[in-house]
Amino acid sequence: MKLRLRGNSIRLRLEQHEIDELIDKGEVSEKLPFSDHQSFGYTLATNKNGEFKAVFSGAIIKIEVPLGLAKSWSESDEEGIYQTLNANTAFEIKLAVEKDFQCLHKRPEEDETDLFPNPRAND
């Protein structure tokens, strides 16, 4: 799972197996260790209450999306799930959870076997 932070936006891009894990287990996580005692992590989880949430606690960003929406997205051709949290406040966050597509320009150093086929590959 890739994380991009920019301004007040959070974008997560998931490979196929990560979306399967999200639906089957309810969450998928990544962790970046900085030392034996410090790490930064991020988690995407589903919930059954139908709400979007973003929480930052203890060097972990946790994003929650509604389970039903995540399931329907995983089975569709839709690229992503998009939501604005805390709209029109000083704490507004633009959230994007997207399928990770294969690049149009091949990069031999990148393993793209679990990425989604790029819908623009035949353009």
Q: HSE (CB half, 13 Å, CA atoms) of 32?
A: 9
In Å, how far are 35, 94, 107, 122 from 12, measured between CA atoms?
24, 11, 21, 25
Mean pLDDT value across the chain: 88
Beta strands in 34-92 (DSSP E): 39-47, 53-57, 60-66, 80-85
Predicted confidence band at 77 (pLDDT cuts at 50, 70, 90)?
confident
User: pLDDT digit string (tens) for 31-73?
Assistant: 999 999 999 999 999 999 999 999 999 999 999 999 999 999 9
Q: Which helix (H) or strand (E) holds 14?
A: strand 9-14
Question: Which pLDDT does position 56 carry in this prediction?
Answer: 95
Q: Which two tokens stand for residue 107?
A: 């990069």
Q: What is the CATH number of domain 2-99?
A: 3.30.1360
Question: Which pLDDT does position 87 carry in this prediction?
Answer: 86
Cβ-contact 103, 110 below 8 angstroms: yes
Specify the residue for token string 């973003």: 54
Question: Which pLDDT does position 121 carry in this prediction?
Answer: 61
Question: Which pLDDT does position 122 carry in this prediction?
Answer: 66
Closest CA to 23 of 68, 62, 61: 68
Question: Which pLDDT does position 47 carry in this prediction?
Answer: 97
**Residue 54 φ/ψ, nearest 5 degrees:** -135, 125
The span from the CA of 27 to the CA of 98, in Å, is 15
User: pLDDT digit string (tens) for 82-119?
Assistant: 999 998 899 999 999 998 755 546 666 666 565 655 56
